[in-house]
Structure 1
Amino acid sequence: MTSFSLSFPKLSPKQFAWDSAVLFVAIFWLGGSLMLDLVVMPMLYMGGMMTTSSFASAGYSLFEVFNHVEMLLSGVILTGVLAMRHRHAECAIEVSGSRSRWSLLVAGSLVAIALLYAYVLTPAMGAIGVVLDLPATMPATVPEAMDWMHGVYWGTEAIKLLLLGFLLRLCYSDIAAQFTEQR
């Protein structure tokens, strides 16, 4: 009987490119956020999402999943930045003290935003939108608190996108420098 086994080489910390991992995760997160903000949500809104009685539960389900993915991605980014900080001699982003502090501040801020979305904004917005009196009709207007929370969401979303762009700039310049050194 023939046995098949896959042998995976063990990666040492020197072999794993954390700057590339952080760049990939930031691009993935930025693309997912833009897709949700600029494609999915406008389509749901134009399709009459706010006029149905189940919009709160549908919105909560959608954002709950995306918020948990965001927490995972922000954790990977923070881990990558901390790993680059630990190996500061090999990663250009961490050689400069100010760039190191900026990248750590950006990564920590992204974690804070993901936690804010998952544990504050999404549950509060879902609770405001839930209709507890099922026989009653849906209110014709959106509650004032919901408008305020949408403003907080869009403000933090803009900050998140700017932070991701700044992190992309930091990581991309390091990776581009590595390729120019190889030529």
Structure 2
Amino acid sequence: MTRLMASVASARDVEAFEALFRHYGPRVRAFMLRQTRDISLAEELMQETMMTVWNKADLFYPERGTVDAWVFTVARNLRTSAFRKMKRPVFDPTDPAFVPDEPLEPGEQLERTDDAERLRLAMKDLPPEQLEVLKYAFFDDISHRKLAAKLGLPVGTIKSRIRMAFGKLRKALEDAE
């Protein structure tokens, strides 16, 4: 078999490839059938394997292993690639993750805009140290521990400032209603 593979690799010998095909074709098809349990897929993968053997015969090195091992490694890799392609999820345009939210009613939109504006105004009235920890913690998504390290403060102080800021914001928003 090594001599046949060398002929295919060096001279693109069609007769040598036919001999390889007659020898390995049925064995690869049987291997694929055991793996896939689908006759048409097994046949297709066998054909693809043998075409790869023809096209890449020059990549076979007898000092690295046998022709059997090389051919079945090619077959196994093609089968793995085929399974990966088959297991890709099918795009579903009706999936809720891809469907945009319904537009808000004009009254709802106005209410949300008003709420956001009241919150912005209330945040302007916070002491700078409380506003700073709120921005870092909620807008920059920095944990309390990292924020404490960044500002050189104890974690308890960070939590207290956030709690006091929430209290002041809650009161300001309740008063604004």
TM-score, normalized by the shorter chain, greater than 0.5: no
Q: Which has the higher contact order (CA 8 A, sep 6+)?
A: 1
> Structure 1 length as normaliser, TM-score?
0.23
Greater C-alpha radius of gyration: 2
With structure 2 as the length reference, what TM-score do the two structures score? 0.23
